A and B are shown apart, each in its own frame.
Chain A
Amino acid sequence: MEGVGRMEAEGNGRGYLSERGWKSWAFTLDHKRIGAMYLWTTTVFFLIGGVFALLLRLELLSPQARYFSNHTYNVFFTLHGAMMIFLFIIPAIPSGLGNFFIPLHIGARDVAFPRLNLASYWVFAAGFLVIIGSLVAPMDTGWTFYTPYSAKSAAAVTTLSLGIFLIGMSSILTGLNFIVTIHKLRAPGMTWHRLPLFIWGMYSTSIIQVIATPVVGVTFLLLAAERIFGVGFFDPTKGGDPVLFQHFFWFYSHPVVYVMILPAMGIVSEVIPVFSRKPIFGYKAIAYSSVAIALGGFLVWGHHMFTSGMSPLANAIFSLMTFFVAVPTAVKVFNWTATLYRGSITFEAPMLYALTFIFLFIVGGLTGPFLGALATNVQLHDTYFVVAHFHYTMMGGTVMGFLAGLHYWFPKMTGRMLNEKVARVAWALIFVGFNVTFFTMFILGVRGMPRRYAEYLPKFHTENVISTIGSAVLAAGILVMCWNFLQGLRKGAPAPANPWRALSLEWRAASPPETENFPEIPLVTEWPYGYGTPKG
């Protein structure tokens, strides 16, 4: 990668942020601005979703319903789940950080279809506006919207279905854009095996978005049709089959957990070698395991339905397949650990979050097989064990990966450095708060506390109080972190082009990058992980 050093610009200009005024954002075709708009939007929904979570924990301070009615509680956990899943976790890393960094990573000036990219954002915006509109009669079905209840509920299910359909469409168009961009716009010399691992993660993610999302789109159309026209696909009184809804729903919603986790794994694969000053261990294994996870993720949707009355053969097949998906995930964890081994590790905030990701994801991952195994699943199904498991993977995994990415790329995106001390305080609060909140739930689950109820038996009281205290600490950590971001944005020290001495292409652009990223398209001669070797 010699001969491009002269392109390194200093981070004193405002780069792609130079233009001002709302029109320069609303009509922008710049992938970086579109990425930034997604980041702002999704972060707002993350905070709103978090407030709902805190309200749930507040209610669970006492065994009896004290602050809210049961219906209100149902609405709150539905909104918490639906917002976090559809408006935060699914779009945040792919559409936010992905939009910003895919072209920078592969040495392109923009995505393949910039206008389609902008359209995707506005379809997304239309989607969340419709979803907000559906709050006139808020959902109480849980974020999975299972029929037959969702077909009969008095809530605005039809409106909400349309909103989710739009969000899905936006997700498909973004995935399509990324696939074509990665295939067609790589810089000269950027072969597949020189791609940053974040790109491998994003490519696999995009495949899932394109293949799986239409199925959930049509499912919500059918749900709407059931309510409007009386179509009976999911209605047993008309010969329909409610379990069919679950098949369609999970054909999308299981692979989509990999839409959430694969990009986060990609970020961790970027951050670990930079802060260990070592080449990534087992590049190809990590790269291909992303693809394997994406494809394998399509084979296991039935493991969400073990207690739905599905056929015994299907139960056995889906349970078996589930264990195979664990393998490529374990391959990744092994390779990250091997990368850390004897590295010159430093603990800046991005690295802290990346290590947290690995730690929490191991806990979340290893509790997966308990649920994937048919026998233990029947015992633990719909208990707090499940809640703990997916929060360890979703929040402990995806959100930590997202935060690692935000801290890692903050200097690149904004041209300013974060206050490292405050960032570490926030991290410590988040780490402690998270584990206190959710580890307790594993215990509650094994002891048999069912999820999704506002009331519980008095014997679960102590753990619930502990969990609520943990959630307050977690919230405090998030607030400190947000404050740090805002401070950094306003008066952080100017960031150099490459504060972490990283080798991937985005660090060759200025901080913040110019509108077309690179003065001239870089020529790539090496992979981006040559740390600690003479050339690195």
Chain B
Amino acid sequence: MAHGTGHSRRAGIAVFVALLLLTAVTVLVSYVDLGLWNTVVALLIASVKASLVALFFMHLKGESRLVWGFALFPIVFLALILLGTLSDTMLR
């Protein structure tokens, strides 16, 4: 149980500013037509934002291996249901 400190508040605000900037970037990029790359960039930025939220807001950064396991575990299954379904629908 970490205790609240001025440091953790400053870190929180820094992450918040980063999230705002990334939001601005992703919106601006969406006005430029990059074809398929629009999707790639949007997902990339979203993933960076999500990682920031998970690592700092949700304190994943200092967590035990067990909690990391439970945080990453479902993503494997998300990939699985996506790929398994697409292996059918894309090649039918």
Residue A309 interfacial (CB < 8 Å): yes
User: Is B5 in contact with chain A by the CB < 8 A criterion?
Assistant: no
Q: Does A314 contact B (CB under 8 A)?
A: yes
Q: Measured between C-beta atoms, what is the minimum distance from A259 to chain B in Å? A: 15
A302 and B66 contact, CB distance less than 8 A: no
Is there an interface contact between B80 and A299, defined as CB atoms closer than 8 Å? yes
CB B78 to nearest CB in A, in angstroms, measures 10
> Does B6 interact with chain A (Cβ within 8 Å)?
no
A314 contact set on B, CB distance < 8 A: 84, 87-88, 91
Residues of B within 8 A of A244 (CB): 85, 89
For the complex, what is the distance from the CA of A310 to the CA of B84, rounded to whole Å?
11
Choice from A183, A211, A241 contacting B89 with Cβ under 8 Å: A241
User: Closest approach, in angstroms, between the C-beta of A308 and any C-beta of chain B?
Assistant: 9
Chain B: number of interface residues, binned into ranges? 10 to 19
**Does B74 sit within 8 A of A, measured CB to CB?**
yes
Q: Which of A298, A310, A317 contacts B80 (CB 8 A)?
A: A298
| Shortest CB distance A175–B (Å) | 13
Which residues of chain A in 272-320 are interfacial with respect to chain B, using CB atoms and an 8 Å cutoff? 298-299, 301-302, 305, 309-314, 317
A227 within 8 A of B: no
Is B37 part of the binding interface, using a Cβ–Cβ cutoff of 8 Å? no
A452: chain B residues at CB < 8 Å are none
B92 located at the interface, meaning its Cβ lies under 8 Å from any Cβ of chain A in the complex? yes
- Cβ–Cβ < 8 Å partners of B90 in chain A: 311
A309 contacts which chain B residues (CB < 8 A)? 92
Helix, strand, loop or mixed for chain A's interface?
Answer: helix
Establish whether residues B66 and A211, one from each chain, have CB atoms under 8 Å apart when the complex forms. Answer: no
Tell me if A251 and B91 are in contact (CB < 8 A). Answer: no
**Is A215 an interface residue, CB under 8 A from the partner?**
yes
Q: Does B24 contact A (CB under 8 A)?
A: no
Residue numbers in B under 8 Å from A387 (CB-CB): none
Interface positions, chain A 193-232, Cβ under 8 Å from B, are: 211, 215
Residues of A within 8 A of B92 (CB): 309-311
* Contact residue among A211, A247, A310 (Cβ-Cβ distance under 8 Å from B74): A211
Decide yes or no whether A428 CB sits under 8 A from chain B: no
**Residue A243 is within 8 A (CB to CB) of chain B in the complex:** yes
Q: Is B77 an interface residue (CB 8 A)?
A: yes
| C-alpha spacing A247/B87, complex, angstroms | 11
Point out the residues of chain A lying under 8 angstroms from B85, CB to CB. 244, 247
Number of A interface residues in the complex (CB < 8 A): 21
- Cβ–Cβ < 8 Å partners of A299 in chain B: 80, 84
CB-CB under 8 A from A313, the residues of chain B are 87, 91
Among A248, A301, A305, A311: residue with most chain B CB under 10 A? A311
Q: What 0/1 readout, one digit per residue, does chain B (58-89) give for beta carbons within 8 Å of chain A?
A: 00000000100000011001001100110111
A211 adjacent to B77 (CB under 8 Å) = yes
CB of A76, distance to nearest CB on chain B (Å): 33
The residue on B at minimum CB distance from A305 is B88
**Residues of B with C-beta under 8 A to A302:** 84, 88
Q: A298–B66 Cα gap in the complex (Å)?
A: 22
Q: Which of A307-337 contact B (CB under 8 A)?
A: 309-314, 317
- Interface residues in A219-271 (C-beta closer than 8 Å to B): 241, 243-244, 247-248, 251
Chain A residues in 8 Å Cβ range of B91: 311-314
- Tell me the complex Cα distance, A301–B88, Å: 12
Knowing A215-B81, A299-B80, the reply to whether A243 touches B66 (Cβ < 8 A) is no
Smallest distance from the beta carbon of B69 to chain A beta carbons, Å?
10
Determine how close the nearest CB of chain A comes to the CB of B60; give it in whole angstroms. 17
A299 CA / B81 CA spacing, docked (Å): 9
A391 to chain B minimum Cβ distance, whole angstroms, is 27
Contacts of B84 in A (CB 8 A): 247, 251, 299, 301-302, 314
A528 to chain B, nearest CB (A): 24
Q: Is the CB of B87 within 8 A of A311?
A: yes
Nearest CB on B from A444, distance (A): 31
> What residues of chain B lie closer than 8 Å to A317, measured between beta carbons?
87
Question: Which of chain A's residues have a CB closer than 8 A to the CB of B81?
Answer: 215, 247-248, 251
Whole-angstrom distance between the alpha carbons of A298 and B91 in the complex? 21
- A491 to B82 Cα, complex, angstroms: 56
Chain A residues lying within 8 Å of B73, measured Cβ to Cβ, are 211
Q: How far is the CA of A310 from the CA of B88 in the complex (A)?
A: 6
Q: For residue B1, give the distance in angstroms from its CB to the closest CB of chain A.
A: 15
Question: In the complex, A298 Cα to B76 Cα: how many Å?
Answer: 11
Measured between beta carbons, the chain B residues less than 8 angstroms from A183 are: 66
Cβ contacts under 8 Å, A215 to chain B? 81
- In the bound complex, residues from chain A placing their C-beta under 8 Å from that of B74 are 211
Is the CB–CB distance between A311 and B66 below 8 Å? no
Of the A-B pairs whose beta carbons lie under 8 Å apart in the complex, a sample of 9, sorted by A's number, is: A215-B81, A251-B81, A251-B84, A301-B84, A310-B92, A311-B90, A311-B91, A313-B91, A314-B87
Given A211-B77, A244-B85, A317-B87, output 16 extra A-B contacts at Cβ < 8 Å. A183-B66, A211-B74, A241-B89, A243-B89, A244-B89, A247-B81, A247-B84, A251-B84, A299-B80, A302-B84, A311-B92, A312-B91, A313-B87, A313-B91, A314-B84, A314-B88
